[in-house]
Structure 1
Amino acid sequence: MSSSPGEEASEEAPKLVTIPQIPDLLEAAGLKRVGPARIRQLAAEDEAWPPPVFQDGRMRVFDWVAVERYFRNRKTRQGERTDLKAKGAEGG
């Protein structure tokens, strides 16, 4: 036996999470807490958001490692109105 059973289980099964679980996990990981509504918006609009591991109807399950990596690498632009920039670029 080259590895313990605990190691095998962690390598085989990723930690799966749903959107309502993510805010608490972000906080526990030392990241800024983001509400479920904002997470749903990011999942719908941001191309960098990790794809769901499983989806059944409206329920989506994500790999926590991929979600945590997304939030650690995400660049925020607080207060910047990106919706106005897109409209201004089209009309100008």
Structure 2
Amino acid sequence: MSSSPGEESSEPEAPKLVTIPQMPDLLEAVGLKRVGAARIRQLTKEEGWPAPVFEDGRTKIYTWSAVERFFRTRSIRQGERTDLKPKDE
């Protein structure tokens, strides 16, 4: 069967894969607040951050949909002093 421009493809679209240095521009492009690469590296240690789909040494690749979901659903604690709170034991 030939594939014409108007035909719908039966193949699922491959997920968009991104690295941390690409994320700030992508966040801005989808209308979210730009977060720098250094801050994103800190956020990768937080609970809820998506697991990389590929890891080789220091290079980590994530699916963009999971990263975007993280930034859309995370609670922002701007200015909160987390160092003064008692740690849960």
The structure carrying a bigger helix percent of its residues is: 1
TM-score bin, normalised by smaller chain: 0.7 to 0.9
Unmatched segments (≥5 aa) in structure 2: 2-6
Moved over 3 A (4+): none
Give the Cα separation in 2 of the matches to 1:58 and 1:75: 27
User: Aligned-residue CA RMSD in angstroms?
Assistant: 1.7
Report the TM-score, using the length of structure 2 for normalisation.
Answer: 0.84
- Does residue 20 of the first structure (1) align with residue 21 of the second (2)? yes
TM-score by length of 1: 0.82
Report the number of matched residues. Answer: 82
Of 8, 11, 19 in structure 2, the residue corresponding to residue 8 of structure 1 is: 11
Structure 1 unpaired stretches of 5+: none
Percent identity between the two aligned chains: 67
Question: 1:68: Cα distance to partner?
Answer: 0.2
